[in-house]
Structure 1
Amino acid sequence: MKQAENITVGISIGDLNGIGGEIVLKTFEDPRMLEFCTPVVFASIKVMSFFKSHFNSEINFQSINNLNQIVHGKVNVFNCWKEPVNIEFGKEDVKIGEYAIKSLEAATKALKNDEIDVLVTAPINKHNIQSEKFKFPGHTDYLAQQLGGESLMFMITEDLRVGLLTDHVPVKDIASHITPDLIEQKIETVYSSLKKDFKIQKPKIAVLGINPHTGDNGVIGSEDDEVLRPTLQKIKESGKLVFGPYAADSFFGSNNYKNFDAIIASYHDQGLVPFKTLSFGQGVNFTAGLSRVRTSPDHGTAFEIAGKGKADENSFKEAVFSAIQIFRNRTSYEALTANPLKKSTKKERR
């Protein structure tokens, strides 16, 4: 298994007019970060030098044109393009969106080819990335197509993990998307991730209801009684510790979430509003279920503060740490399952 200091972290730069460049600089200005990993920023040395000058950073870059030139102990910049780019902080620009995709595509290719170990993505603007060649609502859908597996948006901190049955689905369509097959698939993805990515031997999972008060016995919708409850009962009978559905309005305020290793919300805001309220600035978006490890910060491009030196890098830094830890956990798990007679001496992390 690789040691932490040898793990190569690929970084897609995101929207150049947002805060991505700033949070990357702030994260790796701390030389101790290079003891944990070797970063490779997929952008261009011209762009990163512009950021360095604009934010008065003292960081030093290693410019490379081939991934076999990566230098450990340095912040590497892989040149995805050579031409100058006109950066206007805070502006939504289709051309800038094209550079965000160039970075993402190059980083994903490197990840697929095992030229980097994990991928951390800086924020993109979901509108300006759309084109005839790129028709994905965001990172997760693109990476699911490229990397394979049953992807799931998994928001994580040290003490809280929230997965979603549906993610970027309009509210009016949520109920029709939630089927027994989808529920089983998402719960299996969370369960598997908790075991191999977080070293939890017997995961305990809570599922939140679809309707207010989980439908109040059909008074406020029938989906919880007709779809969710029987599917959860079937999953329980298979031996998994899955509980619910719970009424979402009181679940977090009562601290009930602390009794579980993960919570699965029915839709985007049901899970992300409480998650970000409890952990904003420290949370990480992890795409569970993929064949490779990808994380990102729990915030967007923040155009309103871009270029002003006000961006908080903590969520991005946590995304780097999480990617490293998940990679190590997964590598250890795969080695153990490949050789089941070899017993781990490490205490299971709860």
Structure 2
Amino acid sequence: MKKEEKVIVGISIGDLNGIGPEIIIKSYEDPRSLELNTPVIFASGKTMQFFKNHYKSRINLYNIDSAQKVVHGKINVVNVWNEPVKIEFGKEDKKIGEFAIKSLEAATSALKEGTIDVLVTAPINKHNIQSDNFNFPGHTNYLAEALGGNSLMFMVSDGLRVGLLTDHVPLKDAANHITEELITEKINTVITSLQQDFAIRKPKVAVLAINPHAGDNGVIGKEDDDILRPTLEKIKSEGNLVYGPYSADSFFGSNNYQKFDAVIASYHDQGLIPFKTITFGQGVNYTAGLDKVRTSPDHGTAYEIAGKGQADESSFKQAIFAAIQIFRNRVVYNQYSKNPLKKATK
């Protein structure tokens, strides 16, 4: 791909009763946004027209029946469904969940086929999407199965990147999921992502402890000494700049995270609470470890403000920009990987 070529950004619509459609529309209100990428929204022309009218937007929508017919310079809308949709802002609705999945599945198919370059997903409701045909706790797990690979939830911003050993796992079960194999897999995924997706040649990674104070030599749990610490030493002996386990309670407050290219947390809230506190509104949820690029904003459906025109599109915009940059970084990385002599002479 040439530097000047536009990246085709596929967008799944998310929960129609939430703020997803609003932040998508707001992200493309400025016509200059189409100079950077070509958006393809997977929904329906009629549904998007409803939201355009509701939010009194001036964007121009261009309806197509397939992502293969994308037109650059337009905000493309693929008609995934034709039936009318009853929008009730802020309401959890099983039927709305079905539309969210139709959009996600269509966008994922286009991503696999290569008719779109990257996927940016608007927020879904993890409860109303569940069915006999769709039984995943969220986007990350679904995409891992659909696309293949060792997926990892990687929260990224300009100044902070946080990966997770365990993500949507009940807290009472998190420690039992953390094994030598899992630790090794997740850390290797983070290192590879930092190299190919973020152009960091020799990344430096910190790992947070499982227990408070890293277990205090076994007084507050033995998992850090028995599993995490020896695994980190093994990974470090292979030439990787991996450090820890660090006590999580003081790691972020002391700004220690600024010394590293990424931080790996043991469980969801251990990593996401400080990440969102530090970066909220500018953070991006990136699914590392896949052959394809997928990002999303760092927030949910925000039912409480849905339909009111109050949603902040900043995180969704950042998700679009991050997807584009990661895609371009991968192109360069793959070119250099095929021609190491060219890389060495740079």
The two structures have a TM-score, normalised by structure 1, of 0.98
* Cα deviations by residue, 1:221-242 (Å, 9 ceiling, x for unpaired): 0000000000000001000000
SS of structure 1 residue aligned to 2:173: helix
Distance 2:41 2:3 in 1: 21
| 1:62-81 correspondence to structure 2 within 5 Å | 62-81=62-81
Specify the alignment match of 2:185 in structure 1: 185
Distance 2:186 2:20 in 1: 30
Distance 2:338 2:72 in 1: 30
Once the 2 structures are TM-superposed, how far is the Cα of residue 40 of structure 1 from its aligned partner? 0.2
Specify the alignment match of 1:250 in structure 2: 250
Moved over 2 A (4+): 1-5, 343-346
* Identity level (%): 71
| 1:1-350 correspondence to structure 2 within 5 Å | 1-3=1-3, 5-343=5-343
RMSD over aligned Cα, in angstroms?
A: 1.0
Distance 2:344 2:315 in 1: 31
Once the 2 structures are TM-superposed, how far is the Cα of residue 66 of structure 1 from its aligned partner? 1.9
CA shift in 2, pair 1:123/1:334, >3 Å = same
* Cα deviations by residue, 1:10-53 (Å, 9 ceiling, x for unpaired): 00000000000000000001111101000000000001000000
Distance 1:71 1:214 in 2: 54
The two structures have a TM-score, normalised by structure 2, of 0.99
Once the 2 structures are TM-superposed, how far is the Cα of residue 344 of structure 1 from its aligned partner? 7.5
* Cα deviations by residue, 1:278-336 (Å, 9 ceiling, x for unpaired): 00000000000001000000000000000000000000000000000000001110111
Distance 2:251 2:313 in 1: 30
Distance 1:143 1:344 in 2: 35
Once the 2 structures are TM-superposed, how far is the Cα of residue 6 of structure 1 from its aligned partner? 1.6
Distance 2:111 2:272 in 1: 27
Once the 2 structures are TM-superposed, how far is the Cα of residue 338 of structure 1 from its aligned partner? 1.1
Distance 1:328 1:210 in 2: 35
Once the 2 structures are TM-superposed, how far is the Cα of residue 273 of structure 1 from its aligned partner? 0.1
Q: Is the Cα contact below 8 Å between 1:5 and 1:38 reproduced in 2?
A: no
* Cα deviations by residue, 1:197-231 (Å, 9 ceiling, x for unpaired): 00000000000000000000000000000000000
Match of 2:336, as an amino acid?
L
CA shift in 2, pair 1:205/1:316, >3 Å = same
* Cα deviations by residue, 1:254-285 (Å, 9 ceiling, x for unpaired): 00000000000000000000000000000000
SS of structure 2 residue aligned to 1:324: helix
Q: Aligned residues, how many?
A: 346
Once the 2 structures are TM-superposed, how far is the Cα of residue 159 of structure 1 from its aligned partner? 1.1
CA shift in 2, pair 1:345/1:78, >3 Å = farther
SS of structure 1 residue aligned to 2:207: strand
Match of 2:330, as an amino acid?
R
Once the 2 structures are TM-superposed, how far is the Cα of residue 5 of structure 1 from its aligned partner? 4.5
Once the 2 structures are TM-superposed, how far is the Cα of residue 132 of structure 1 from its aligned partner? 0.4
CA shift in 2, pair 1:4/1:143, >3 Å = farther
Structure 2 unaligned segments of length 5 or more: list them: none
Match of 2:276, as an amino acid?
K
Once the 2 structures are TM-superposed, how far is the Cα of residue 339 of structure 1 from its aligned partner? 1.4
Q: Is the Cα contact below 8 Å between 1:154 and 1:287 reproduced in 2?
A: yes
Distance 1:345 1:316 in 2: 38
Q: Is the Cα contact below 8 Å between 1:5 and 1:34 reproduced in 2?
A: no
Once the 2 structures are TM-superposed, how far is the Cα of residue 345 of structure 1 from its aligned partner? 8.2
Q: Is the Cα contact below 8 Å between 1:4 and 1:37 reproduced in 2?
A: no
CA shift in 2, pair 1:267/1:160, >3 Å = same
Distance 2:273 2:2 in 1: 36
Match of 1:280, as an amino acid?
F
